[in-house]
């Protein structure tokens, strides 16, 4: 027993331990490799994974800002002199969010959601349209499938009162139905719609909200 190779046994135990650790960390190939778990980061163009299916994410809209040498570009520069925090690109991002919120709220007849996003005059117009729809027992279904372009086209400045007009190109479903659920206007087909929305704000105001002041089709 005095010649028993204790050192070899110890080395063998250590080697076996290391092999087991490596296999638990690296895994073992068996001829069938389970696909890796999905990453928590969302790949570009792919939505969240729900029951093994990818929900498509609408493409980001193209944001367009006037060149500095254009009349609108020069007015934007004047606006930044009054309010250094003003950024045209960030404005367009906010305008996109406001567009989605206003379209959704108008279709649902949600006056409480509309009021802080519109000027008083524009709210009166929207309120009247909602009231007429309610009196006719009509319901509006509007769904924005994608916003493809947000172009800042016009800029006006009167003292500290600023007005910015955005051309918004979107793909939408718009359908109005009567009390029986029968269509009275629009359709379920996806249609490209071009809107020109004008937002206003006093650049000296502590309130950063640009409110919708006018709408027209492009």
For β-strands 62-64 and 211-217, DSSP reports them as unpaired
Q: How far apart, in whole angstroms, are the C-alpha atoms of residue 77 and residue 95?
A: 19
Per the CB < 8 A criterion, the answer to whether 177 and 139 are in contact is yes
Mean pLDDT split into 10-residue runs, the chain, 218 residues: 45 47 38 36 33 60 96 98 96 97 97 98 98 96 96 98 98 94 93 97 96 93
202: Cβ contacts below 8 Å, ≥ 6 apart: 160, 161, 162
Per the CB < 8 A criterion, the answer to whether 87 and 93 are in contact is no
- φ, ψ (nearest 5 deg) of residue 133: -65, -40
Q: How far apart, in whole angstroms, are the C-alpha atoms of residue 50 and residue 34?
A: 19
| The length of the chain, given as a count of residues | 218
Residue 204 is encoded by which pair of tokens? 């000296």
pLDDT for 59: 74
Taking each helix axis from N to C end, the angle separating 88-108 and 120-135, rounded to the nearest 10 degrees, works out to 30
Per the CB < 8 A criterion, the answer to whether 155 and 79 are in contact is yes
Class of domain 55-217: alpha beta
pTM: 0.73
| Cα three-residue angle 91-96-99, rounded to 5 degrees | 120
Running DSSP on this structure, what letter comes out for residue 207?
A: -
Per the CB < 8 A criterion, the answer to whether 165 and 198 are in contact is yes
Which residues are 186's β-sheet partners? 175
Helices (H), 27-69: none
pLDDT for 60: 85
Per the CB < 8 A criterion, the answer to whether 200 and 119 are in contact is yes
For 86-125, write each residue's pLDDT tens digit.
999 999 999 999 999 999 999 999 999 999 999 999 999 9
Q: How far apart, in whole angstroms, are the C-alpha atoms of residue 204 and residue 159?
A: 10
């Amino acid at each position: 027993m005095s010649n028993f190779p204790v050192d070899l046994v110890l080395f063998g135990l250590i080697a076996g331990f290391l092999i087991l650790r490596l296999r638990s960390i690296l895994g073992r190939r068996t001829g069938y490799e389970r696909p890796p778990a999905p990453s928590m980061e969302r790949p570009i163009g792919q939505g969240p994974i729900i029951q093994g299916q990818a929900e498509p994410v609408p493409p980001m809209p193209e944001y367009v800002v006037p060149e500095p040498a254009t009349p609108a570009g020069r007015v934007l520069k004047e606006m930044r002199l009054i309010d250094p925090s003003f950024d045209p690109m960030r404005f367009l991002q906010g305008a996109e969010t406001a567009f989605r919120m206003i379209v959704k709220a108008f279709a649902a007849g949600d006056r409480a959601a509309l009021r802080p996003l519109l000027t008083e005059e524009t709210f009166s117009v929207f309120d009247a349209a909602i009231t007429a729809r309610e009196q006719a027992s009509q319901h509006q279904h509007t769904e924005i499938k994608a916003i493809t372009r947000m172009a800042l086209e016009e800029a006006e400045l009167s003292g500290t009162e600023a007005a910015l007009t955005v051309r918004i190109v979107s793909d939408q479903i718009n359908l109005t139905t009567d009390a029986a659920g029968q269509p009275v206007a629009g359709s379920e087909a996806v249609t490209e719609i071009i809107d020109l929305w004008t937002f206003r704000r006093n650049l000296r105001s502590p309130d950063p909200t640009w409110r919708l002041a006018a709408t027209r089709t492009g």
